Amino acid sequence: MGHFKQKEQPIFSTRAHVFQIDPNTKKNWVPTSKHAVTVSYFYDSTRNVYRIISLDGSKAIINSTITPNMTFTKTSQKFGQWADSRANTVYGLGFSSEHHLSKFAEKFQEFKEAARLAKEKSQEKMELTSTPSQESAGGDLQSPLTPESINGTDDERTPDVTQNSEPRAEPTQNALPFSHRIFFLFYFSSAISKHWEAELATLKGNNAKLTAALLESTANVKQWKQQLAAYQEEAERLHKRVTELECVSSQANAVHTHKTELNQTIQELEETLKVKEEEIERLKQEIDNARELQEQRDSLTQKLQEVEIRNKDLEGQLSDLEQRLEKSQNEQEAFRNNLKTLLEILDGKIFELTELRDNLAKLLECS
């Protein structure tokens, strides 16, 4: 706990039973604490992030950084859960009362919003301090594009709870028929995957074009800066020339005419400088747009990877459902065979009773 105290300060604490999703089945909850433990929100002032931390003795059983994409879900009156893509797991908390669960959920939403605002401020600060192009000592150009790592989303599937002694998630009441659910899972995963693959291919093409335009624009900016410096030197030289002519020339009219021409030339150069400055501002804006498109491409790439992972999970679930269906059909077939055998035995017994009745009737008639 000493490590957390050095950088972070606890801002809210409660007690709950801690669970994690079974990494193999992705359905059952595995308890990570034998009893209720303290679960706290911490604020890291050095990195400006919020985290959920819980210790069982000296072992950290929860160490989850809150991101704007996370969602805390109440699955019952005393149980809640959230997915952490960085830790590649789903955490579950069982509380002693509904009030404690509601308070924890309110704090989660509050700190999630604070994390979102902190991220936006950090991005704005980076955009204000960044420059559209930089030149190295040897004159090489450095691209201003710096793709950022995107956090995982909170759209991961919420598993069912199978523990008997702890609070559990409530199952869906209005479930689709079995065959409809299989078709829906397969169709939905395929459609999402194709959609994001098309979006990614389009963004890759646009990114290649924008990268080429960015390099060309950066080279033009360097050239125009050199031209601007040359124009400024020429303007200063012309100003000095005008001053010298005014001092040494005895022909006032000729000097005045020459001065007028030089002033016109200076004015034209100043207008040219203004046009070039506007062009530089336009190129800066194009560079910023290219950076935003690069970030969108990285975000879509991350989402595609997450969709692929989700597809694999859905395929595993589909395979499990098919096995269960096959097992159920085998059990029904065995039951039918047993029932058929029982009916055959019953028919034999009925036939024997019939013969016995006939024999008894004959004996009565003979007597």
Can you tell me the distance from the alpha carbon of 302 to that of 363, in angstroms, rounded to the nearest whole number? Answer: 92
- Average pLDDT over every residue of 57-62: 88
The whole-number pLDDT of residue 309 equals 93
| C-alpha 31, offset from chain centre | 27
In the chain, the domains with their CATH numbers are 10-122 (2.30.29.30)
> In which band, very low, low, confident or very high, does the pLDDT at 177 lie, cut at 50, 70 and 90?
very low
Q: Read off the pLDDT of residues 85-104 as tens digits, 9 standing for 90 and up.
A: 888 899 999 999 999 999 99
The whole-number pLDDT of residue 80 equals 95
Q: Read off the pLDDT of residues 250-271 as tens digits, 9 standing for 90 and up.
A: 666 766 788 888 898 998 999 9
99 phi and psi angles, rounded to 5 deg = -65, -45
The whole-number pLDDT of residue 224 equals 80
The whole-number pLDDT of residue 221 equals 81
> In which band, very low, low, confident or very high, does the pLDDT at 145 lie, cut at 50, 70 and 90?
very low
> In which band, very low, low, confident or very high, does the pLDDT at 7 lie, cut at 50, 70 and 90?
low
- Average pLDDT over every residue of 148-169: 37
The pTM assigned to this predicted structure is 0.37
Per-chain mean pLDDT for the chain:
78
pLDDT of 152 above 50: no
The whole-number pLDDT of residue 194 equals 65
The whole-number pLDDT of residue 191 equals 60
The whole-number pLDDT of residue 330 equals 92
Contacts 24+ apart (CB under 8 A), 272-275: 272/231, 273/228, 273/231, 273/232
- Judge residue 16's burial from the number of C-beta atoms within 10 Å of its C-beta, 0-12 exposed, 13-18 middle, 19 or more buried: buried
> In which band, very low, low, confident or very high, does the pLDDT at 6 lie, cut at 50, 70 and 90?
very low
| Of 77, 80, 75, the residue nearest 98 (C-alpha) | 77
> In which band, very low, low, confident or very high, does the pLDDT at 236 lie, cut at 50, 70 and 90?
confident
pLDDT of 135 above 80: no
Q: Read off the pLDDT of residues 17-33 as tens digits, 9 standing for 90 and up.
A: 999 998 888 888 999 98
- In the chain, pLDDT over 90 holds for what percent of residues? 36
66 phi and psi angles, rounded to 5 deg = -80, 125
pLDDT of 165 above 50: no
DSSP lists the bridge partners of residue 74 as 80
> In which band, very low, low, confident or very high, does the pLDDT at 169 lie, cut at 50, 70 and 90?
very low
pLDDT of 52 above 70: yes
Residue 45, SS3 per DSSP: coil
Can you tell me the distance from the alpha carbon of 61 to that of 84, in angstroms, rounded to the nearest whole number? Answer: 13
Cβ count near 333 (within 10 Å): 10
The whole-number pLDDT of residue 56 equals 85
For residue 272, what are the contacts with CB-CB under 8 A and spacing of at least 6? Answer: 231
Among 109-123, 212-226, 341-355, the range scoring the smallest mean pLDDT is 212-226
Higher pLDDT, 197 or 323: 323
